[in-house]
């Protein structure tokens, strides 16, 4: 008798049953496999199941047997171990760049890479302080388009926007398209940035990917910038919040208790010079920006700009301007 269409895919269904329903803590017996196949309108004999298991095992599926009066089978090693999947799920959940909807989609796909029983352990909810999710669903696909353009050495076009107080997009350049040569993508402070050559201004510029709309790969060749001379580490060194600006060499001092913070930011290659009174100094090239001044200010007087004087003067002016704002609020005046 000719086999039915369902019989011809029996091996595929057996593989799916083993992958979805079994792990080392949830093995399955041959009689149980026969019942599962029957739910799929597939008839199977006991001896045929043993043969099919061997075929799957010989073709790369890591099927182990739990011996006993009734042998039970399970998938042992998978492409991803459960701790690896948990780590990936945590990364997806904590990423500000990925929207809530896309996070749910990705986690569902990650959950399919393990058994249904272990997938329950992937339903994790981690709390990440001050990390609201992005609400630009296009960003996920913008990253893919940018990578494709970089590999093909093509330019890209896009619209660039900010949000107003009504939380609505306001496009820069009155909605006109930007056209740039993408060089690389950079991940900084839980945000994706595109580093690109802007021919109009003849310089490298950084663009927030979640503020880019309608990213399209251009027909124009992106050969107007010599990528061989680009060094990503040098480009972002000393930047705070990926702000571009004047790069200057500065000397900073910190209380010793902040050595971990400094090493986290500047890396272990930074030279630290211990000084008296429980402080240390570093010298580094930094990009002058409001974010840099804010970074220094967060140390509440326990970090100081020593040189150059022009940078210290700029910090003093910023502090004075901010203090004036609060004098106005309190109704007091400078004396």
Query: Residue 219: which pLDDT band, with cuts at 50, 70 and 90?
Result: very high
pLDDT greater than 60 at residue 110? yes
pLDDT greater than 60 at residue 126? no
- Write down the pLDDT at residue 133: 61
- Write down the pLDDT at residue 97: 74
- Write down the pLDDT at residue 11: 93
The dihedral through the CA atoms of 133, 90, 195, 177 has a sign that is negative
- Write down the pLDDT at residue 333: 53
Q: What does the alpha-carbon distance between residue 305 and residue 288 come to, in Å, rounded to a whole number?
A: 12
Strand, helix or coil for residue 203: strand
Contact 194, 212 (CB under 8 A): yes
Range among 19-33, 189-203, 240-254, 286-300 with highest mean pLDDT value: 19-33
Contact 313, 265 (CB under 8 A): no
**Phi, psi for residue 229 in degrees, rounded to 5:** -95, 0
Strand, helix or coil for residue 307: strand
Bigger pLDDT: 231 vs 7: 231
Contact 220, 209 (CB under 8 A): no
Q: What does the alpha-carbon distance between residue 183 and residue 75 come to, in Å, rounded to a whole number?
A: 43
Average confidence score pLDDT of the chain: 86
Q: Which helix (H) or strand (E) holds 283?
A: strand 279-287
CA separation, residue 320 to residues 10, 35, 270, 297, 302 (Å): 77, 78, 31, 13, 18
Range among 84-93, 223-232, 246-255 with highest mean pLDDT value: 246-255
Query: Residue 178: which pLDDT band, with cuts at 50, 70 and 90?
Result: very high
- Write down the pLDDT at residue 245: 73
pLDDT greater than 80 at residue 274? yes
- Write down the pLDDT at residue 141: 85
Query: Residue 2: which pLDDT band, with cuts at 50, 70 and 90?
Result: very low
pLDDT greater than 80 at residue 65? yes
């Amino acid at each position: 008798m000719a086999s039915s269409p369902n019989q011809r895919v029996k091996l595929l269904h057996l593989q799916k049953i083993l992958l979805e329903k079994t792990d080392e803590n949830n093995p399955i017996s041959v009689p149980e496999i026969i019942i599962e196949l029957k739910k799929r309108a597939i008839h199977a004999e006991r001896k045929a199941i043993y043969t099919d298991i061997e075929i799957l095992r010989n073709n790369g599926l890591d099927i182990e047997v739990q011996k006993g009066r009734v042998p039970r089978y399970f998938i042992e090693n998978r492409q991803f171990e459960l701790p690896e999947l948990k780590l990936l799920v945590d990364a997806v959940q904590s990423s500000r760049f990925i929207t809530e909807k896309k996070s749910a989609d990705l986690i569902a796909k990650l959950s399919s890479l393990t058994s249904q029983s272990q997938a329950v352990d992937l339903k994790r909810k981690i709390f990440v302080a001050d990390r609201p999710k992005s609400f630009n669903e296009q960003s996920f696909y913008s990253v893919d388009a940018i990578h494709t353009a970089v590999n093909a050495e093509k330019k890209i076009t896009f619209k660039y926007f900010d949000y107003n107080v009504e939380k609505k997009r306001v496009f820069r350049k009155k909605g006109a398209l930007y056209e740039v040569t993408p060089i690389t993508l950079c991940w900084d402070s839980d945000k994706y940035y595109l580093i690109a050559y802007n021919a109009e201004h003849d310089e490298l510029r950084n663009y927030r990917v979640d503020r880019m709309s309608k990213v399209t790969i251009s027909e124009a060749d992106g050969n107007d910038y010599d990528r061989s001379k680009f060094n990503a580490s040098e480009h972002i060194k000393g930047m705070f919040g990926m702000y571009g600006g004047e790069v200057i060499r500065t000397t900073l001092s910190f209380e010793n208790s902040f050595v971990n913070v400094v090493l986290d930011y500047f890396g272990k290659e930074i030279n630290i010079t211990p000084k008296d009174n429980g402080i240390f100094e570093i010298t580094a090239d930094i990009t002058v920006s409001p974010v840099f001044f804010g970074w220094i200010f967060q140390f509440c007087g326990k970090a100081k700009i020593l040189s150059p004087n022009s940078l210290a003067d700029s910090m003093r002016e910023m502090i004075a301007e901010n203090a004036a704002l609060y004098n106005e609020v309190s109704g007091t005046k400078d004396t």
